Structures are given as C-alpha cells and as structure tokens.
Amino acid sequence: MDGVAEGVLRARVSAPAVDGAANQALVRLLADELGMPRRDVRLVAGAAGRTKLVAVDGLPVEHLLARWPGLRT
C-alpha cells in the first residue's frame, strides 16, 4: 500500500492486467490488509481502468478511516 493521496487509497500489485488478474490481486491485497475474507471485498467499478471503486461489506466506515486517514468514502 502506498497510502492515501487526495482521498484515494494508492495500491500496487504485481499481477498483470490480463484476464482480471490485477483486479483479483487488488481484492486479495485489500482483504489481507483489513483481515477480512475475500468474499467481503469486491470491485464495484473500474475493472478495465486504473481507478477502481471497491466495496467492503461488514466493516464500519470508521474502521477504514482509522486504518487510512484521509480516505474519501
């Protein structure tokens, strides 16, 4: 994780952007960082672009903001 910049969480994955591998790697990374099952982290928008919108089910917004201050929710 590269932290939050301008309200956006910056993350890098090494998986190639082929057949959704990078998207799956991002979901795994976020789930692992949050200590949550992967099924609770899902890509909502941006599957084909660099900017993604991710939903995290079952986690209070306050927890995300405590983890990554400045994150736009």
Question: Structural domains in the chain?
Answer: 3-67 (3.30.1200.10)
Cβ neighbours around 20 below 10 Å, total: 13
Q: Indicate the pLDDT class of residue 1, thresholds 50, 70 and 90.
A: confident
Q: Once rounded to an integer, what is the mean pLDDT over residues 27-41?
A: 97
What are the two backbone dihedrals, phi and then psi, of residue 30, each rounded to the nearest 5 degrees?
-65, -45
Q: Once rounded to an integer, what is the mean pLDDT over residues 6-15?
A: 95
pLDDT for 73 equals 85
Under 8 Å between Cβ of 41 and 56? yes
The Cα 33–Cα 23 span in angstroms is 15
pLDDT for 47 equals 95
pLDDT tens-digit profile of 41-64?
999 999 999 999 999 999 999 999
What are the tokens at 48?
């084909």
